[in-house]
Amino acid sequence: MLYNNFLLLQLKKKFKKNLPPIKGCVKILNQKTGILETDKNYIYNIPYIYLKYIMEGDYILANIKNDNNQLQVIPIRLLKSNINFFEGIIKKKNNIIYIIPEKKILYKNIIKCNIKKNIKNIIKNGDKVIAKIIQHPLNINRENNIFVAEITEFLNKDNKYLIPWWTILLKYNLSINSPKSSLCKKIKLLDDNLYRKDLTKLCFITIDNKDTKDIDDALYIEKISEKKLLVYVAIADPTAYIEKDNEIDQIASKRMFTNYLPGLTIPLLPKILSENFCSLNPNQKRPVLICKMIIHKNGSLSKKIIFFTGWIKSNAKLNYHDVSNWLEKTGNWEPDNNKIKQQIIFLYKFYLYRKKWNCQNIVDFNNTDYKFIFGDKGQIVDIIIEKKRIAHKIIETAMITANICASEILYKKLGFGVYNVYYGFNINKINKIIELLNECNIKYNKSFLTTLKGYKEIYNKLYDLKASFILNRIKKYQLITLFNTKPGPHFSLGLKRYATWTSPIRKFGDMVNHRLIKAIINKKYSIAKPLNDIFINMNKKRYLHKKAKNDLSNFLYLQYFKNISIRSKIFISEIIDIFYYGIKIRFVKNGAYAFVPKKFLYSNIDYININQEKGVIYIKNKLFYKVTDKIKVIIKEVNISGIIAKII
């Protein structure tokens, strides 16, 4: 802390005139004291009279003022707010309604509430609410402005169980509900002049989860010959209703994704659009963007790929479970008619054709997915392994193939789009990867490992050798997939470039690509390149969504293991990672992570030798444990930090 220290005293003497504005983070200490901490850890006092214009965590621009030989700051502009949503209690005073935040975020910790007419008469003192800041004094040029919030959710007995979900979302400043349908005052097609081909007579079908309401893809296939299939991939077209830069578009550009959490889904778009006007519901005429392609028996794509806009009418809303059962010849479900039956058969044939290409190009990490099963009020009933069945694989393959087509047309016609870029191994960790590969007598040079071919070849060899230990270790040295407006390779898909457009109801980047593809269809090649802010915000939002999902999963696992009967069982677990102070494991049956402290590995810790870098543990100079080993454990403790286990 450098408040009034020697360096600041020197600054006070040196500068007689005003110093240039500085940036820093606000901290409210009490009702009369606030400070600004800069990125370099300099701390300045904020005069009491300015505290009403700022809140805890605000990142602001401020002017430095020398007051009686003491440096102070005057807030002038908000750069970024750390708090958008908060939980609070309603307080009525002199016909004005306020919200008292649960956590102290203001010097007086009371915020004026903007009340809509439809709830004004039902709101009362003591109501617990989730609210959103809609007015910040530093965003407005008039000094008399105050903080104003708007209620987004009332907490009651029916939704109170969602408080942990909302708390975690608010922690990362993520939305807790869908955009309001009232934003869609008058829904109409915007591109009336755009030609749309009428394909409503073709037998398009959709396959999704049973409870899916925002259906964004439909498929239709024709057999050209014994070696060729003509495939139509029709994707819902929200850009037919959402004008660029209007209020809904701006909200979507901030949210970026539909947020899928265990037990709660928060849509990207208002439900009246995502579940009604845009959703490819059965027997409803819908505007779509279509990719028409030919697939050969060897899995390859014909060069001639056509994108066009059209109308379709889905003939059936099918689900993964029923279609998988029918293809696997189990269960009693049957397609309603021969046309639908024929489409399922063609889809399966398409998958078998394309599977040949997939096997040659795609690196499949074979990750296990787990699903929380909830009761009516959010209580956890069970946690199960969610296997990817044949119908899932069919739809996934169709969407990847359609995305490959979009990637190429965007690249060839425009040279840009919203791309998913994945470069495989971290170039700074290549030496460590080479050391690991040498243990399996696999020899490659650095430059080869950083190529598409090298990435795929390495994984093929390790899978053939069943070298699960090495596979686990090299995962630590991989990069993550990022969004960018510039094309780039996607190593795990074996592609020079990859862009998605098949989920525009759920991803804002796909909406952007829709608009770009439509511009290509209309031969408007001079369309502006998407701003860099788009992919920067997409990367940030996806990271925050992942953090929120991880936090919620950890919370739900702790709730699940509070049940003594569950905790008393023996769990088969896989060693995920090894640290100097113990090992991280994952229960095979339900996916919960746990930690085994060093003291539970052996009675005398002096005999334990842990090599964290290599992921192995020796006891009395004998190899006892390594990453990927399966071990049996019992739960010793469940606390806020996590699950503590002991090897048996």
Nearest to 500, CA basis, from 487, 489, 509: 509
| CB distance 187 to 251 below 8 Å | no
pLDDT in tens, 420-455: 999 999 999 999 999 889 888 888 888 999 999 999
Chain position carrying tokens 């502009």: 77
pLDDT in tens, 122-139: 788 888 888 889 899 988
Which of 58, 127, 208, 322 is labelled catalytic?
Answer: 208
Mean pLDDT of 176-182: 86
Write out the E strands in 199-284.
205-208, 217-225, 228-236, 259-261, 264-266
Per-residue pLDDT for 317 more than 90?
yes
Write out the two tokens for 402.
């359609």
Write out the two tokens for 392.
């899932």
Write out the two tokens for 29.
């200490």
| Distance of alpha carbon 231 from alpha carbon 322, whole angstroms | 22
Q: What is the 3-state secondary structure (H, E, C) of 118-153?
A: HHHCCCCCCCEEEEEEEECHHHCCCCCCCCEEEEEE
Poorest-confidence range of 181-190, 233-242, 496-505? 181-190
| CB distance 489 to 497 below 8 Å | yes
Per-residue pLDDT for 113 more than 50?
yes
Catalytic residue check, 191: no
| Distance of alpha carbon 348 from alpha carbon 352, whole angstroms | 6
Range of 37-46, 162-171, 319-328, 464-473 with top mean pLDDT: 319-328
Catalytic residue check, 214: yes
| CB distance 132 to 85 below 8 Å | yes
Report how far Cα 597 is from the mean position of its chain's Cα atoms. Answer: 32
Query: Structural domains in the chain?
Result: 6-80 (2.40.50.140), 85-155 (2.40.50.640), 189-410+507-523 (no CATH), 423-479 (no CATH), 561-647 (2.40.50.140)
| CB distance 302 to 229 below 8 Å | no
- pLDDT at position 565: 83
Which of 320, 348, 351, 422 is labelled catalytic?
Answer: 320
- pLDDT at position 170: 85
- pLDDT at position 444: 86
Mean pLDDT of 312-333: 96
| Distance of alpha carbon 293 from alpha carbon 303, whole angstroms | 9
Who wins on pLDDT, 114 or 321?
Answer: 321
Which of 127, 216, 237, 322 is labelled catalytic?
Answer: 216
Pairing of strands 205-208, 316-319: parallel
- pLDDT at position 8: 56
Which residues 6+ apart lie within 8 Å of 496 measured at CB? Answer: 452, 487, 489
Catalytic residue check, 192: no
Catalytic residue check, 533: no
Per-residue pLDDT for 3 more than 50?
no
Which of 214, 237, 322, 629 is labelled catalytic?
Answer: 214
Range of 104-118, 311-325, 566-580 with top mean pLDDT: 311-325
Pairing of strands 85-93, 70-80: unpaired
Helix (H, G, I), strand (E, B) or coil at 171: helix
| CB distance 618 to 609 below 8 Å | yes
Helix residue spans in 159-299 (DSSP H): 163-171, 247-255, 271-272
Which of 42, 50, 107, 217 is labelled catalytic?
Answer: 217
Who wins on pLDDT, 93 or 279?
Answer: 279
- pLDDT at position 521: 93
Portion of the chain with pLDDT greater than 70, in percent: 96
Which of 506, 510, 542, 586 is labelled catalytic?
Answer: 506
Query: How is residue 216 annotated by DSSP?
Result: -
Catalytic residue check, 322: no
Q: How many CB atoms lie within 10 A of CB 38?
A: 15
Nearest to 415, CA basis, from 528, 253, 256: 528
Who wins on pLDDT, 396 or 102?
Answer: 396
User: pLDDT band at residue 486, thresholds of 50, 70 and 90?
Assistant: very high
Give this prediction's pTM. Answer: 0.84
User: pLDDT band at residue 181, thresholds of 50, 70 and 90?
Assistant: confident
| Distance of alpha carbon 435 from alpha carbon 441, whole angstroms | 10
Range of 3-17, 135-149, 164-178, 537-551 with top mean pLDDT: 537-551
Pairing of strands 111-114, 148-154: parallel
The residues pairing with 646 across neighbouring beta strands, listed in sequence order, are: 634
Chain position carrying tokens 């919030």: 149
Catalytic residue check, 351: no
- pLDDT at position 82: 80
| Distance of alpha carbon 9 from alpha carbon 4, whole angstroms | 6
Mean pLDDT of 207-213: 94
Per-residue pLDDT for 400 more than 50?
yes
